A and B are shown apart, each in its own frame.
Chain A
């Protein structure tokens, strides 16, 4: 799935300078637990999380995840956005809860990372 479709499905805004628009997203991983991201995610995944700390960006970068969605309209602090810009991770904010965000992405055709 193209990033544009994810943005559209989530009514999301992009808050980083870098936008992985050519990125093809194959899977979704939704959690606030960073070890779960490292354990279950695949590359070419989108991470959906309520954890708006730098750790979410570090974890995404290590796991080759290039797109991170923050739920419930939560805005990260500047250092988190700066780190995402530095690591070329695209950050999105969606007004929806994690449950609704996952539901909308599922409906749009995205599936959970296979375990």
Chain B
């Protein structure tokens, strides 16, 4: 099955719900696999999406994870109603984290989430307003010649 037209969808993510954490990303990964996208691209998209989903679950009351797949690229948008990020530059540093102890006990909150989203995306944008929320947009090109670097 190839990609002939734009495929889009979204998932509502509830903050703090660790029992279902990762289900949305797993569904998106399965969809990408069914479209015949290469294993490496699927893996990058799945990792970036999973980190975005976990950030909504860890730090916010709720958010929406949207995806849009065209013959050229995968676009993932994670929009949350969380506290926002005061210093984005600091939050992008590997190892910087504001996660509480109980989250760390579950294996998360090591300060690699945002850097990992950026690493696995060809284009990465983050926009945050304190007290309102954060929006992350990630684009992964299906044709490697359009990739960064």
Q: Which residues of A contact B (CB under 8 A)?
A: 32-36, 38-39, 43, 49, 51, 53-56, 58-59, 61-64
How would you classify the secondary structure of chain B's contact residues: helix, strand, loop or mixed? helix
Q: How large is the interface on B (under 10, 10 to 19, 20 to 34, 35 or more residues)?
A: 20 to 34
B106 at the interface (CB under 8 A from A): yes
Q: Which residues of B contact A63 (CB under 8 A)?
A: 43, 46-47
Asked if A53 and B47 sit within 8 Å, CB to CB, the answer is: no
Q: Smallest CB–CB gap between B2 and chain A, Å? A: 22
Smallest CB-CB A-B distances: 4 pairs: A35-B112, A58-B22, A34-B107, A33-B110
Residues of chain A with a CB closer than 8 A to B25's CB: 62
A-contacting residues of B (Cβ < 8 Å)? 18-19, 21-22, 25-26, 29, 39, 43, 46-47, 50-51, 54, 106-108, 110-113, 115-116, 119
Given contact pairs A62-B29, A63-B43, A64-B39, A35 touches B21 in the complex (Cβ within 8 A):
no
A38–B106 CB distance below 8 A: no
Q: How far is the CB of B110 from chain A (nearest CB, A)?
A: 4
A33, B107: Cα distance in complex, Å: 5
Q: With CB as the reference atom, state the residue of chain A lying closest to B40.
A: A43
